[in-house]
């Protein structure tokens, strides 16, 4: 099947990818089971490259390729390649969500949803379960013959409370590639969601101003992913000379305690894989090392244009799309300070937790936290809501003065979006961070 696919395009370099995917989604709204969906999807994509241009064929039925007219690329420029390899990477049976019945998945989600909805003061809930098993076949004219399976399982729990016109919600998500069993025993997560939802109802709006802040691992991970990770994707860089100058390798952008990596080789994390969607081995790449820009993330195309080796970050959400430069698991490496030591160093400021998402525009960013807490005399005093962080990415990175030792790599439901491809499975993470002079929007 795959050998025939390579013959569909006449070019110096041709690659073929065929995927089979199994999906399950379950959703509760309040007390009611709102949605149960299972689906199977199969299809492939063939790409030819002649050193200048790509030709692409997307298909669902391999048998029809035999009747497809061969696409011919006239330029025959040699394309730098990788050595041949033949490998098969399979998911163990215990991590395969297809081995678990729909009823068991529904009952697990129902048990967590019940904890939240039965909490006094909670108005309603939105609870979500998702799993995805993918088998990918990859073959190219270099002799790279790869079969790789991945399996994701995750839950998202959220509570909603209302007091007059004041409506607040709080949510948490959990999940990696560790199998359905890893989702069990999360009662404390559901209890936290209910408690934080009610805490937000009682919280006052934060007063706008400039604060010294401690940010938690969840927000630290989202910040480094959105604010810096996307800037380090080389397809943004080689077409933007101004940004390439700002992001020059070796440029100091933070304190010596600050290091950040992208690493798809972490075991069973949300953004982990052995090979990317261009048949390149994934590897740990330092984006920031001891406060200086260390490297960029590359696909085969961007690596060729900038004269470096690919980093294994050519990724696509499914067979309908060609790979583009994408992150995997992006996180800030831990420092030496404990969480308690960070609070001891902050007499007055904010403890900012979680992320509701955000936006970046080159070096400027804006993020919304899930909840914040005033810190007075080094201690948490009261919660605040509607905490919006904004500023210049590089100035904020330089204002990180202490890095905690408590690294957490987050997974969960959802993923990253770029160029119409979403949600791509990624992991984000970091330890607690102490940042000086953060602009906070509020009342």
Q: Find the helix or strand (DSSP H, E) in which 393 lies.
A: helix 393-398
Of 238 and 27, which is predicted with more confidence?
27
Per the CB < 8 A criterion, the answer to whether 385 and 353 are in contact is: no
Which residue's structure tokens are 């069973």?
A: 268
| Contact (CB, 8 A) for 272 and 426 | no
As beta bridge partners, residue 437 has none
pLDDT at res. 442: 61
Main-chain dihedrals φ then ψ at residue 259, nearest 5 degrees: -135, 145
Q: Tell me: pLDDT of 136 over 90.
A: yes
Rounded to 5 degrees, φ, ψ at 76 are -115, 35
pLDDT, position 181: 97
Which overall architecture, per CATH, does domain 2-202 show? 2-Layer Sandwich (3.30)
- Is a pLDDT exceeding 60 seen at residue 130? yes
47, 277 contact by CB (below 8 A)? no
13-29 and 32-49 beta bridge pairing: antiparallel
Residues 33-79 have pLDDT tens digits of 999 999 999 999 999 998 888 899 999 888 788 777 888 887 777 77
What's the mean pLDDT when you consider all of the chain?
Answer: 94
Mean pLDDT to the nearest integer, 21-30: 98
Q: Residue 318 pLDDT more than 90? A: yes
How many degrees, rounded to 5, is the angle at CA 427 between CA 422 and CA 432? 130
193 closest CA partner among 131, 121, 107: 121
Residue-wise pLDDT for 161-212, tens only, equals 999 999 999 999 999 999 999 999 999 999 999 999 999 999 999 999 999 9
Domain boundaries, the chain: 2-202, 209-441
Distance CA 172, CA 195 (A): 12
What mean pLDDT comes out for the span 432-440?
Answer: 96
| Torsion angle of the four alpha carbons 349, 335, 289, 276, in this order, in degrees rounded to the nearest 10 | -100
In this structure, the chain runs to a length of 443
Cα(339)–Cα(327) distance, integer angstroms: 28
Could you give the CA distance from residue 373 to residue 378 in angstroms, rounded to a whole number? 12
pLDDT of residue 154: 98
- Closest by CA position to 115, among listed 76, 146, 158, 164: 158
360-390: per-residue pLDDT in tens? 887 889 999 999 999 998 899 999 999 999 9
Q: In the predicted model, what is the mean pLDDT of residues 244-265?
A: 94
Helix/strand/coil for 31 = coil
Q: Which residues contact 38 (CB under 8 A, 6 or more apart)?
A: 22, 23, 24, 102
Residue 277 pLDDT > 60, yes or no? yes
Neighbours of 345 (CB within 10 A): 15
Three-class SS of residue 222?
A: helix
Mean pLDDT of 126-149: 97
Please report the pLDDT score of residue 238 as a whole number: 81
In 3D, which of 213, 110, 127, 197 has the Cα closest to residue 162? 197
pLDDT band at 357 (very low <50, low <70, confident <90, very high): confident
């Amino acid at each position: 099947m795959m050998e025939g696919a390579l013959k569909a395009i006449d070019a110096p370099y041709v690659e073929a990818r065929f995927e089979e995917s199994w999906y399950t989604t379950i959703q509760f709204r309040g007390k009611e089971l709102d949605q149960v969906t299972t689906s199977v999807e199969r299809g492939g994509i063939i790409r030819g490259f002649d050193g200048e241009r790509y030709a692409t064929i997307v298909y669902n039925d391999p048998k029809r390729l035999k009747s497809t007219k061969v696409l011919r690329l006239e330029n025959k420029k040699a394309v730098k390649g990788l050595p041949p390899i033949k490998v098969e990477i399979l998911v163990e049976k215990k991590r395969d969500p297809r081995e678990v019945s729909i009823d068991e998945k529904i009952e697990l989600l129902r048990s967590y949803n019940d904890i939240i909805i039965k909490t006094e003061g909670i108005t309603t809930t939105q609870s979500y379960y998702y799993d995805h098993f993918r088998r990918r076949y990859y073959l190219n004219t270099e002799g790279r013959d790869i079969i790789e399976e991945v399996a994701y399982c995750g839950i998202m729990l959220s509570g909603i409370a209302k007091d007059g016109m004041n409506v607040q919600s709080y949510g948490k998500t959990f999940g990696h590639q560790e199998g359905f069993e890893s989702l069990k025993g999360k009662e404390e997560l559901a209890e936290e969601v209910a408690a934080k939802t009610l805490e937000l109802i009682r919280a006052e709006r934060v007063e706008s101003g400039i604060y010294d802040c401690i940010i938690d691992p969840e927000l630290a991970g989202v910040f480094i992913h959105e604010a810096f990770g996307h800037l380090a994707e080389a397809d943004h860089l080689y077409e933007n000379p101004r940004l390439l100058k700002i992001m020059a390798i070796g440029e100091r952008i933070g304190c010596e305690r600050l290091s950040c990596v992208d690493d798809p080789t972490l075991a069973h994390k949300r953004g982990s894989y052995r090979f990317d969607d261009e048949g390149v081995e994934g590897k740990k790449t330092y984006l920031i090392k001891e406060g200086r820009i260390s490297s960029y993330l590359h696909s085969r195309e961007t690596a060729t244009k900038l004269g470096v080796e690919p980093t294994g970050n050519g990724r696509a959400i499914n067979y309908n799309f060609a790979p583009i430069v994408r992150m995997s698991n992006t996180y800030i490496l831990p420092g030496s300070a404990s969480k308690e030591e960070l609070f001891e160093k902050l007499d007055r400021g904010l403890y900012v937790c979680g992320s509701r998402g955000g936006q970046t525009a080159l070096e400027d960013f804006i993020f919304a936290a899930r909840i914040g807490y005033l810190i007075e005399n080094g201690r948490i005093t009261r919660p605040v809501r509607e905490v919006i962080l904004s500023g210049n990415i590089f100035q904020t990175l330089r204002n990180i003065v202490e890095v905690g030792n408590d690294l957490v790599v987050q997974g969960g439901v959802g993923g990253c979006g770029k160029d119409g491809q979403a949600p791509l499975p990624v992991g984000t993470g970091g330890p607690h961070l102490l940042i000086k002079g953060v602009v906070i929007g509020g009342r």
